[in-house]
Structure 1
Amino acid sequence: MADKRQRIDKILAHMGFGTRKEIKKLMKTGVVKVNGESVNNPGHHVYPDRDVIEVNGQPVVYREYIYLMMNKPPGVLSATEDRLEEVVVDLLEPEHASFDPFPVGRLDKDTEGLLLLTNDGKLSHHLLSPKKHVPKTYYAVIQGKVTEADAEAFQQGVTLDDGYHTLPGELKILTSGPRSEVELTIFEGKFHQVKRMFQAVGKKVVYLKRISMGPIRLDPELELGEYRELTDEEVALLKGTANTET
């Protein structure tokens, strides 16, 4: 927590100034100051919210958490590490990666769109809690004609291939034909849920993109693979969603 004493090297590493080893070398040069005094001991403890920390004369503004919105590209795993495949945190700049953020929930490898990343475990837990029923909306292209009968079925919840009966979903048909375009809002996050829901009504998802999660909509300015920090207003909206009792 920011109001507790922490090692200066840990704080500087957290803020993206390098590895602990690099920071140890940096501190030997005398460029790190705490409350105007040079500090060369990496184990020196400070209060990040009270003490004035400077590196090369520039103040270090400490923050504990980071909140990011990414337009996840297809082919990238919603994970923090994988031995063989590229993961979403590989797309982050060092200044953001230093916070060790993780994806809030998952998108399938071939699914694109809105993915939130944070190191705020409490917020992530609340957003993913089945009790919260946080809505997630997807745009999908479906092989086959999607009908009002499908919308009614989703409204009742459908039974997946493992026997699980989903919560009601809200299906909006944008176009209907050999290939249909839809928006689907679900309130839980079972494995491959959108694909399996359409499978339950005899249809196949050929393209899937998440466009919103709770009160946060994907920024249309973000190209695939791009991301940005959430605004203070967006963070407040997310925290409001998480704190809502259901």
Structure 2
Amino acid sequence: MAEKERQRLDRVLAHMGLGTRKEIKRLLKEKRVRVNGEPAGDPGLYVLPGRDRLEVDGKPVEYRRYIYLMLNKPQGVLSATEDKLAKVVVDLLPPEYRAFHPFPVGRLDRDAEGLLLLTNDGKLAHRLLSPKKHVPRTYFAVVSGRVTEADAGAFRRGVTLNDGYLTMPGELKILHSGPESEVELTIYEGKYHQVKRMFEALGKKVTYLKRIAIGPLVLDETLKPGEYRELKEKEINALLDNPQPKPDPLIN
């Protein structure tokens, strides 16, 4: 591990959710923290996370740099880390996870629900959100109006939004067509309110929207709205590898 990765002991312990800086100073003062078997009383002591052996009250501290959480975002909650007026997704997490300062990867409309990835891994977030990567996002939607194969064709060609922007080709699967239709759709970019705006451009209105997949990551259907879990190792690896193909811009 590089020398530059040495960190202050109090910062490492705070990062692991073991208390505020003030609380950790008290732990150190009371000699309840050990580094490599020796009592540690200096909060400014530099350690190598993952290499030096840390203990608090005799229990080992397993250092983790990143966390990856799958959240089934409920309606009415903002995809943000803070807001003065509204509840945000980070508010749904306990202190031990908030200590890692996770943030939502991308946004999901306030009135939408479904899969949202929360992490503090900035590099992964950039890869998933980069317009150059074209990471697919899959949704289930209820639409007011009869969705037809002509609409599916429009999605395959790309839809011109009301502001003149032409979206990338998408995939629209009709599950039920009627006065109220049910569809599953996949898009490869994340413009503001894109799904709703695409249907609006086709003269229809989305009344319910749920994201069910981001790239290879699929929503765990056992999670109720507002519930979350850590990603499994194979899910993290799939996101890091990100083997999803890019859409063919020549689809018509």
TM-score w.r.t. length of structure 2: 0.95
Q: Once the two structures are superposed, what CA deviation does each residue of 1:83-136 show, in whole Å capped at 9, x if it has no partner? A: 010000000011111100000000010000000010000000000011111000
Which residue of structure 2 lines up, in the alignment, with residue 108 of structure 1?
109
Percent identity over the alignment is 67
CA distance in 1, matches of 2:97, 2:85: 23
Mapped pair 1:50 → 2:51: yes
Match of 1:78 in 2: 79
Q: Distance in 2 between matches of 1:106 and 1:56?
A: 40
Show the counterpart of 1:192: 193
Structure 1: distance between partners of 2:243 and 2:93: 25
Structure 2 gaps, min length 5 = 248-252
Change (3 A) 1:243 1:201: closer
Which residue does 2:90 correspond to in 1? 89
Cα distance in 2 between the residues matched to 1:15 and 1:244:
36
TM-aligned CA distance change 1:14 to 1:243, over 3 Å: farther
Distance 2:2 2:9 in 1: 12
Q: Which whole-Å CA distance do the structure 1 matches of 2:231 and 2:48 have between them?
A: 26
- 8 Å CA contact 1:126–1:242 kept in 2: the answer is no
* Paired positions, count: 246
Using the alignment, how far apart are the partners of 2:34 and 2:123 within structure 1? Answer: 33
Partner of 1:28: 29
- The amino acid across from 2:160 in the alignment is T
Q: Could you tell me how far apart the structure 1 residues matched to 2:34 and 2:244 are?
A: 39
2:93, 2:73 → 1: CA distance?
12
In the superposition, the TM-score normalised over structure 1's length comes to 0.97
Aligned to 2:250: none
Give the structure 2 partner of residue 41 of structure 1.
42
| In 1: Cα distance, 2:34 partner to 2:85 partner | 42
| Structure 1: distance between partners of 2:200 and 2:88 | 27
Quick one: distance in 2 between partners of 1:242 and 1:38? 47
Aligned partner of 1:154 in structure 2 is 155
Structure 1 residues 108 and 195 mapped into 2: Cα distance closer, same or farther (>3 Å)? same
Secondary structure of 2:242's counterpart equals helix
Q: Is the 8 A contact 2:215 2:244 kept in 1?
A: no
Alpha-carbon distance change, 192 to 245 in structure 1, aligned in 2, over 3 angstroms: closer
CA contact (8 A) 1:2 1:64 kept: no
Q: Which residue of structure 1 lines up, in the alignment, with residue 217 of structure 2?
A: 216
Equivalent residue, structure 2, for 1:233: 234
| Alpha-carbon distance in structure 2 between the residues aligned to 1:2 and 1:9 | 19
Contact 1:135 1:186 in 2 (8 A): yes
Structure 1 spans left out of the alignment, 5+ residues: none
SS in structure 1 opposite 2:234?
helix
- Structure 1 distance, partners of 2:119, 2:165, is 30
State the distance in 2 between where 1:87 and 1:245 align: 32
Residue 199 of structure 1 aligns to a residue whose secondary structure is helix
Q: Which runs of 4+ in 1 moved over 2 A?
A: 242-246
CA distance in 1, matches of 2:244, 2:183: 30
1:132 equivalent in structure 2: 133
Distance 2:143 2:234 in 1: 35
| SS state at 1:177 partner | coil
CA distance in 2 between counterparts of 1:81 and 1:164 reads: 30
One-letter identity of the residue aligned with 1:38: P
Q: Deviations over 1:35-75 (max 9, x none)?
A: 11101111111111211000000010101000000000000
Match of 2:173 in 1: 172
Residue 113 of structure 1 aligns to a residue in which SS? Answer: strand
The 3-state SS of whatever aligns with 2:181 is strand
CA-based RMSD: 1.6
2:125 partner amino acid: S
In the superposition, relative to structure 1, how do residues 235 and 179 fare at CA in structure 2: closer, same or farther (>3 Å)? same
Structure-1 separation of matches of 2:157 and 2:125: 28
